[in-house]
A = this chain, B = another copy of it.
Amino acid sequence: MLSTMSTPARATEDRADPTSDTAHRLLEAAAEAFADRGFHATTTRDIASRAGLSPAGVYVHFSSKEELLYQLSREGHEAARDMLVAASAGAGSPTEALRAIMGTFSRWHAEHFRVARIVQYEFGNLTPEHRDAVLGLRKQIDAVVRDVVTAGVATGEFSVDDVPDTTLALMSMAVDVARWYDPEIKRTPAAIGEAYADLGIRLVTAR
């Protein structure tokens, strides 16, 4: 988010870089590598070469391999949370909100399946401090969904046996998209989102 602005603005370059340049390339390289092979199977040499740097070049921008993981995990969690908050806030009813949440969340897990895998499966490779920070974001994400389910039960739109358990099952469906999604398949992220919005409604509706 905050650009370091260590280089002067380039009038001749019309493509703006979202974060300061090579650091951003390194994050993208690390995201690909971590998602494809896992944190521990990824070497700093691999990350460096994918970003076009020497092995030592990484450490100018990040103090460790775990620091790269943390940045990706934190940004990924924040993006997911912000999307869910927006989806929930823009809805006129719990039913609409749940459809928006499930559609958005599952679509995100398909479109950004690399970051999503890091978010979901590499949590345990963070340092204890970083784990704590991310845990706070996870609680926020859970709360957004749980509040919608609670609201729907209150209005009578939903009927569930247990709110926290149902919330977890809803998130499980969306989260698991990142495990099986493959960009080669025919289903588009948008279609997945629509299907999971329907499935989410079914889960909170007794026949």
**B196:A168 contact, CB within 8 angstroms:** no
Give the contacting residue for A202; candidates B124, B198, B206; CB below 8 A.
Answer: B206
> For window 176-198 of chain A, which residues contact chain B by CB distance below 8 Å?
176-177, 179-180, 187, 195-196, 198
Copies of this chain per assembly: 2
CA of A62 to CA of B4, assembled, Å: 52
Instruction: Say if the beta carbon of A64 comes within 8 Å of chain B.
Output: no
CA of A187 to CA of B206, assembled, Å: 22
CA of A204 to CA of B175, assembled, Å: 20
**B40:A198 contact, CB within 8 angstroms:** no
Given known A172-B177, A202-B202, contact A165–B207 (CB-CB < 8 A): no
> For window 153-186 of chain A, which residues contact chain B by CB distance below 8 Å?
161-162, 165-166, 168-169, 172-173, 175-177, 179-180
**A120:B179 contact, CB within 8 angstroms:** yes
Q: Which of A124, A175, A179 has the most CB of B within 10 A?
A: A179
What interface size band does chain A fall in?
20 to 34
Instruction: Say if the beta carbon of A83 comes within 8 Å of chain B.
Output: no
Instruction: Say if the beta carbon of A11 comes within 8 Å of chain B.
Output: no
A169 to chain B, nearest CB (A): 5
CA of A206 to CA of B168, assembled, Å: 21
The main secondary structure of chain A at its interface with chain B is helix
CA of A198 to CA of B196, assembled, Å: 18
Instruction: Say if the beta carbon of A125 comes within 8 Å of chain B.
Output: yes
Instruction: Say if the beta carbon of A205 comes within 8 Å of chain B.
Output: yes
Chain B residue numbers with a CB within 8 Å of A202 are 202-203, 205-207
A101 to chain B, nearest CB (A): 16
Q: Can you sample 14 A-B contacts with CB below 8 Å?
A: A37-B124, A38-B38, A38-B40, A38-B124, A41-B125, A120-B179, A162-B195, A165-B187, A169-B199, A172-B173, A175-B176, A175-B179, A202-B202, A202-B206
Q: Which A positions have Cβ atoms within 8 angstroms of B?
A: 37-41, 120-121, 124-125, 161-162, 165-166, 168-169, 172-173, 175-177, 179-180, 187, 195-196, 198-199, 202-203, 205-207
